[in-house]
A and B are shown apart, each in its own frame.
Chain A
Amino acid sequence: MHVIVCVKQVPDPEIPPSSFKVDEAAKKVVPPPGVAAVVSQFDEIAVEAAMRIKDAQSDAKVTVLSMGPASAYDAIKKGLAMGSDEGVHLLDDAFEEGDAYTTAQTLAAAIQKLGDYDLILCGRQAVDWDMGVTGSALAEVLGIPSITFAKDVQVRDGSVVVERVFPDSFETVEAALPALVTISNELGEPRYPKLQQIMQAARKQVTKWSAADLGLDPSQLGASGVRLSLDRLYVPVSEIECEFVEGETPEEAAQKLAEKLRESKLV
C-alpha cells in the first residue's frame, strides 16, 4: 500500500487581515516580515488522513510530495515528522508562478516517476488561491477516479470508501484503487509531531527532482505554460464605518443597540 500526499507551502493565512498586503504591480502577495510559511491547512489534514491509514495498516508507505521553492522543504519535513516515510521535493525555477494546469502536469510526472501507488491524497483546496482545481485535475491527468471533500477515508480490499461532506448532506462513495481523494477540514485536527518524530524526520530521505529529472519541457511549465492568467490582484476596500455603541454597563450598551436596530428597522 503506497499513499502519496501532495502538500503545498503557503504564507501563513492566520495573519490578521490588516497585515495582508498586495504588490499590485507585481500581482503578488507580500507576506509580513518574520511570519513563517506553513503547510496549507487542508494538505496538513490530508497528511493526517494518510497517517490514519498507516495506523490501521502498518505496512502502508506514505510519501509526501511538494512542488515549491527551497523553503517548501519545511512543508515536506512537517509531513515526515507527522509520520510519513519519504519526501519528494520538486524544485526548479521553471515550476514557479504556474497554475493548476502546470502544477498538475508536474505532480503527475513525479507520481509516474515514483511508479506504483495506490492512493493519492490532496487538500480540498489550497488556502492561498482557494481554487480547488489541482486535486481533481491531477486525477484527470493520471486517468484515475477522484473523490472530493472527504471527512473519512477507509482503505479495504483494493478499494477506498470515502465519506464526503457537504453543507447540506453526507455521501459515502467507493472507488477501486488507484484513486485520488481530496480532504476537507471535517476529517479532524492533524496530529502534533513529538520531539522524537521531529528528530527522526531530519534523517528521512527527501529526493529532489528538477524539470529535467521529470523529463518535462521548461517552456510548458510555470508561468510560460499556464492556461489561466492572473490579470489583476488587489485588496477590496470596505466602505463601512462602524458606529461603536457604548454604555455605563453592558446592559445599557445592549439597550442602546436594540434601540438603534429598531430605528434602522433591522429588528
Chain B
Amino acid sequence: MANETGILVLGEVAEGKLTTFSTELLGAARRLEGAGGAVSCALLGSAVESAAQDAIAFGADKVYVVEDPALADYSTDGWVQAMQKVVGEANPAIIIIGQSNIGRDVAPRLAFRLNTTACMDCLELSVSDGKLSATRGSWGGNARSVHSFNTMPQIATVRVKSQEPLERDESRKGEVVKVDAGLDPSSIRTKLLERKEVSAEGVRLEDAEVIVGGGRGIGSEEGFKVLEDLAGQLAGAVGATRAACDMGWRPVADQIGLTGKVVSPTLYIAVALSGASQHMAGCSGAKNIIAVNKDSEANIFKLSRFGIVEDYKKVMPALLEAIKKLG
C-alpha cells in the first residue's frame, strides 16, 4: 500500500474499559499529530465496543471495533489477522502498540506480516516529515538508541508510563467503525489451555508510591522480611531484581526490570542491589532513589539521592525503627 497516513493505536480492553496503558498510547499518538492525518484506535475482542467511547474521550478520531468469538482470548494469530484487517482499512503511517503482555508478542509478528518491522519498548517518539524517530533503552539499559524505519507502516511499542495520557474529554467526537474480522477459527494455530492471574496481596507494585526493592545481596528468602516490614510501615510494596527472583527468594510477580514490571514510585528504597541497568530499566521512572549497599562503588549510588554504604542487615532494622518513631 502507499499513501499511508495517520496513526493507528492498538487499544487493550479490560473488563469492558480501555486500559490506562492504552490511554497513554493515545496521548502519545495525539502529540505526534505533526505526522498529519487522524489518530485511530483498534479494539479487538469478543465484546469490546463498550470501550470505544473511552478511546474517543482520550483522543481517538476513529475507533475500529473488531468483534469475533475467536477473539475472546488473546492469540497471536487472531490478533495479527484482525490487525491486518484494520490496517487494510486505516492504512496508517505509524502503528503504536503498548509493550504489554500482548504487545510484546503481537508487534513483531504483525510487523513481519505487513512486510515491515517493529521497534520495541520505546521511551520517546517524534515525527519529522512523516518519518518516525524512536528512542529506546538498549544494551541492558546502558545506552539509548534512536531508530528510524525504511519500510511502512512504522510500528513502535512503547513502555508503560513513558507517555502521558490526555485528560478525559467526554465532549470529543469520533467515529466508530465495525470491521468484520472474518476469522476462520482453524487459522488460530495455538490453543489456550489455562490462564492464571497472580493476585497481589496488599499494594500492587505498579501502583505503589513507595517500593522497597532487594537484590542478590539480600542473600535469602528470610532476608526480605525486614524489607517487607519497612514496605508495610510505609504502605508500599516489595520488589526484587531478576537475580533475587531467579534464586527463588521472591515470586516472579515481584520482579522489576526489563523483563519484569515497570514501576514509577515516588520513593524507591534499593537494598543490597547493584543497580544493574536491566533492573534500573524497570524503575527509571522512580522519582527518588535511596540506596543501601555495602559496596561504595555500586552503580546504584550513581542514581540515588541518598545512600548508606553498609551491610543492609545492620542498617535496615534501624531504619525501620527510626521511621516508625517518626510516626
Taking each of B111, B143, B197, B321, which has the highest tally of chain A beta carbons within 10 Å of its own beta carbon?
B143
Would you call the interface of chain B mostly helix, strand, loop, or mixed?
mixed
Mark the stretch among A70-78, A86-94, A192-200, A257-265 that contacts chain B: A257-265
Mark contacts of A201-234 with chain B using CB atoms, 8 A cut-off: 1 yes-contact digit, 0 otherwise: 0000000000000000000000000111111111
Chain A nearest CB from B14 CB (Å) reads: 11
Answer whether A240 and B303 are a contact pair too, CB < 8 Å, given A133-B120, A228-B119, A258-B322. yes
Chain A neighbourhood of B16, CB < 8 A:
none
Q: Cβ of B140 and Cβ of A242 under 8 Å apart?
A: no
Contact for A257 among B190, B210, B302, B306, CB less than 8 A: B306
Report how far A84 CA is from B48 CA in the complex, Å.
Answer: 47
Chain B neighbourhood of A266, CB < 8 A:
266-267, 288, 290
Q: Cβ of B307 and Cβ of A232 under 8 Å apart?
A: no
Q: Cβ of B137 and Cβ of A130 under 8 Å apart?
A: yes
Chain B nearest CB from A99 CB (Å) reads: 7
Chain B neighbourhood of A18, CB < 8 A:
299
Q: Cβ of A267 and Cβ of B326 under 8 Å apart?
A: yes
Mark the stretch among A46-54, A56-64, A112-120, A182-190 that contacts chain B: A182-190
Report how far A266 CA is from B266 CA in the complex, Å.
Answer: 8
Chain B neighbourhood of A133, CB < 8 A:
107-108, 111, 117-118, 120
Nearest A residue to B322, CB-CB: A258
Nearest A residue to B113, CB-CB: A140
Chain A neighbourhood of B306, CB < 8 A:
242-245, 257, 260-261
Report how far A134 CA is from B191 CA in the complex, Å.
Answer: 23
Chain B nearest CB from A25 CB (Å) reads: 14
Mark contacts of B105-130 with chain A using CB atoms, 8 A cut-off: 1 yes-contact digit, 0 otherwise: 10111011100111111000000000
Report how far A185 CA is from B260 CA in the complex, Å.
Answer: 11
Chain B nearest CB from A191 CB (Å) reads: 15
Q: Cβ of B193 and Cβ of A173 under 8 Å apart?
A: yes
Q: Cβ of B192 and Cβ of A171 under 8 Å apart?
A: yes
Report how far A16 CA is from B277 CA in the complex, Å.
Answer: 9
Report how far A99 CA is from B145 CA in the complex, Å.
Answer: 13
Report how far A26 CA is from B190 CA in the complex, Å.
Answer: 43
Chain B nearest CB from A176 CB (Å) reads: 7
Is B31 in the interface zone, CB < 8 Å from A? no
Is B72 in the interface zone, CB < 8 Å from A? no
Report how far A264 CA is from B121 CA in the complex, Å.
Answer: 33
Chain A neighbourhood of B148, CB < 8 A:
228-229, 231
Chain B neighbourhood of A66, CB < 8 A:
none
Report how far A211 CA is from B267 CA in the complex, Å.
Answer: 52
Contact for A244 among B190, B196, B308, CB less than 8 A: B308
Chain A neighbourhood of B318, CB < 8 A:
250-251, 253-255
Chain B neighbourhood of A171, CB < 8 A:
192, 194-196
Among A83-134, those with CB < 8 Å from B are 99-101, 104, 124-125, 127-134
Q: Cβ of A166 and Cβ of B302 under 8 Å apart?
A: no
Among B282-327, those with CB < 8 Å from A are 288-291, 296-297, 299, 301-311, 314-316, 318-319, 321-323, 325-326
Q: Cβ of A100 and Cβ of B117 under 8 Å apart?
A: yes
* Chain A residues within 8 Å of B, Cβ to Cβ: 13, 16-18, 20, 22, 29, 99-101, 104, 124-125, 127-137, 139-141, 145-149, 161, 165-176, 179, 184-186, 189, 226-236, 238, 240, 242-246, 250-251, 253-255, 257-262, 264, 266-267
Closest 7 CB pairs of A and B: A258-B322, A254-B318, A250-B314, A145-B189, A136-B108, A140-B112, A227-B117
